[in-house]
Amino acid sequence: MSIAITISPEEINHQLKLSCQIPTLVEGIITRKIILSTAAELGLKVETEELQKTADNIRLVNKLLRADDAWAWLQKHHLSLEDFEELIYTTIISGKLSQHLFADKVEPFFIEHRLDYLQVVMYEIILEDEELAMELFYELQEGEINFYEIAHQYIQDAELRRTGGYRGLLYRKDLKAEISAAVFAATPPQILKPIVTSKGVHLILVEEIIQPQLDNFLCQKIMSDLFDSWLIQQIEQAEILR
């Protein structure tokens, strides 16, 4: 038996409060207003072709290949066509503002913070016993055992064990300071002497250190980071009238 339920705007607002989402919602509103007002002051504009291209990309990403699918998506998100156009406009103008403010600051920032964009490919096993870790380290040095065998024996997490303790591509900020210092001073491939932290004793294989290149991906990442930092400053300085 189905039950008819009516949801009012007041109830939606009440649910936002109960789910503690009001601060996030308010920050989103402030962010949008800052972006739109700053873009207007700078005279930034969006062309019709840009709106169409972005709309097509959004439909493609959301797999809205048919008109019926697009209408269903709009209804699901309670968006009118005007709302959708506003969403597209805000997306484009945000990118243009970021480009306008920070495109010429990316390369100097990269040069100044180049070490922060070094990446390491590493494997890690965390043990509880420092004496055991040292024993295994020396066995590795002597070639009596390999890193994968130790990982298979001592790592509890099944997925991590299957990959031999592989941690992926990591930046300095992804590691504890004491580990980061040792890792990025290594000469790969190198097994580091066990490092003790609050999490345990770390046995680490540094496979490769990747030098950063200011390619398009990193350029966009730096510009996005600078733009996000700028927005945070603007939000903190904003005078909110209610």
Does the residue 2 lie in any domain? no
Range of the domain at 15: 9-108+219-237
> What average pLDDT score do residues 180-203 get?
96
For residue 144, the domain's CATH number is: 3.10.50.40
Does the residue 114 lie in any domain? no
Does the residue 113 lie in any domain? no
Chain centroid offset of residue 144 CA: 40
Report residue 212 as tokens.
């950063």
pLDDT bin (cut points 50, 70, 90) of residue 240 is low
Residues 160 and 225 placed together within one structural domain of the fold: no
User: Is pLDDT at 2 greater than 80 in this prediction?
Assistant: no
Answer for the pair 81, 87: CB distance below 8 angstroms, yes or no: no
pTM above 0.75, yes or no: yes
Residues 93 and 133 placed together within one structural domain of the fold: no
pLDDT at 242: 57
Does the residue 68 lie in any domain? yes
Residues 103 and 123 placed together within one structural domain of the fold: no
Residues 224 and 187 placed together within one structural domain of the fold: no
Report pLDDT digits (tens) over 17-67.
999 999 999 899 999 999 999 999 999 999 999 999 999 999 999 999 898
CA pair distance 163, 158, nearest whole angstrom: 9
Structurally, how many domains does the chain consist of? 2
Q: Please state whether beta strands 200-210 and 195-197 pair in parallel, antiparallel, or not at all (unpaired).
A: antiparallel
pLDDT at 202: 97
Q: Which residue in the block uniquely carries the two structure tokens 């590493």? A: 122
CA pair distance 62, 2, nearest whole angstrom: 30
CA nearest neighbour of 168 among 177, 176, 160, 158: 160
Residues 93 and 145 placed together within one structural domain of the fold: no
Answer for the pair 106, 223: CB distance below 8 angstroms, yes or no: yes
Report pLDDT digits (tens) over 91-100.
999 999 999 9
Does the residue 93 lie in any domain? yes
